[in-house]
Amino acid sequence: MRPNVLIVDDDQSFLRLIQKDLEGFSDSFNVLTAESGNTALDLLKKTYVSFIVSDLRMPAMDGFELLSGILKKFPDIPVYIMTSYDKPKTKDVVIKSGAAGYLKKPFTAIELFGEITKTLNKKAEGGSLHNVTLETFLQLIEMEQQTSTLRIVDKKADRGGVLFFRNGELMNARVGENQGKDAAYEILSWSNVSLSIEHDCVFQKKLIQGDLQAILLDAMRVKDELAEKNEMEEVPESGEILLDAPFAEESPDSHDIKTASVGMISKKKPETAAKVRPVKKEVEPLKLSPIDTIRMKIKNFIGSRDGVLDISYDQRWDALIDQAANIGNVFNCGSLNVLYVNRDNSDQFILVPGDETTKISILPNSPWERIVDALG
């Protein structure tokens, strides 16, 4: 799903012009427009937007009011303010109000494209993952006590949401304008997702109570209840008439649907074998292999351009690990976490000690220092 960029301005001719100028960048993002702040907020409730540019002077709701509304309900979306009424302190006031950037009219489409791509690239600085098991990745975030903003895209339904983590704790979630635990449940119900990672979190206060494991279990329970509800709402056999509300409030275990009668005729539902209710699934902490843990650490910290060729166990380097560890002990350097080896420009790798020594083969131009930081 390509990112959506929203341009807000009460000048219709400007909107048509900027939309036409940005058509050449349609491979990178979609351009949406709104002629007022209220229209923009309504659009944000139902559309996943990654970047907003708003005019400062608009009737009814100006740029400052729109910025305030976005920061309250959609705090993860960066907002640039543009204006042709530039004064010495205008930019300072705009930035201090929470805007991500400032543009002085007139500007070129190339300038705007540069600001958009710079911001979108920063939002995905931690890389992106596709076809991942979301539960697995979230538990890695918790285990590593990461501070991250995860932008989740449900590729099946073409919708998006955001999960906010600080020090491994789920602080908040957002889908449209909905925030909190219900938004987290909705995101966790999606399958076939991709996600991008930003190493930052706008929330300091935890707005979702409970630990991640409990939330995952609750989310699974909600999914099961929805599945049961869908089964109960199956289309009945021809000739059988069901009431809109066939039964009053009953216990959750009671699912017998009563038939309605028309005139003097009553049809009973034919006896069928008892329906087997879905077994409640419990989410157990997923056990990652050391290699999978290393691979996801690197991907989360660096992204797809990590230069890693292969990760494997290699006991041939156990002796080198032992010698390096002994040298560290002599100089009181602490325990050995990772060892970078550069035998020549074409043979570079990183060794990670453990029950089995792990060898990470890397390209000559790989960011090996960042890989060491990710694993250290």
The 3-class secondary structure across the chain, one letter per residue, is CCCEEEEECCCHHHHHHHHHHHHHHCCCCEEEEECCHHHHHHHHHHCCCCEEEEECCCCCCCHHHHHHHHHHHCCCCCEEEEECCCCCCHHHHHHHCCCCEEEECCCCHHHHHHHHHHHHHHHCCCCEEEEECHHHHHHHHHHHCCCEEEEEEECCCCEEEEEEEECCEEEEEEECCEECHHHHHHHHCCCCEEEEEECCCCCCCCCCCCCHHHHHHHHHHHHHHHHHHHHHCCCCCCCCCCCCCCCCCCCCCCCCCCCCEECCEECCCCCCCCCCCCCCCCCCCCCCCHHHHHHHHHHHHCCCCCCEEEEEECHHHHHHHHHHHHHHHHCCCCCCCCEEEEEECCEEEEEECCCCCEEEEECCCCCHHHHHHHHC
pLDDT tens across the length of the chain (376 residues): 688 999 999 999 999 999 998 888 888 889 999 999 999 999 999 999 999 999 999 999 999 999 999 998 999 999 999 999 888 888 999 999 999 999 999 888 888 998 998 888 776 655 555 545 677 788 878 888 889 899 888 877 778 999 999 999 999 999 998 999 999 999 988 877 777 888 889 999 999 988 888 888 877 776 676 666 655 555 444 433 333 333 333 334 433 333 333 333 334 444 444 545 555 455 555 556 788 888 888 877 776 677 888 899 998 988 888 888 888 888 788 888 899 898 766 688 999 998 899 999 988 878 888 888 888 7
Count CA atoms closer than 13 A to 278's CA, side-chain side. 16
CA distance 7 to 9: 7
What's the pTM?
0.56
Cβ–Cβ < 8 Å for 172, 212: no
Domain ranges of the chain: 4-123, 128-214, 290-375
Q: Could you tell me the fold of the domain covering 290-375?
A: Beta-Lactamase (3.30.450)
Reply yes or no on domain 4-123 having CATH 3.30.390.50: no
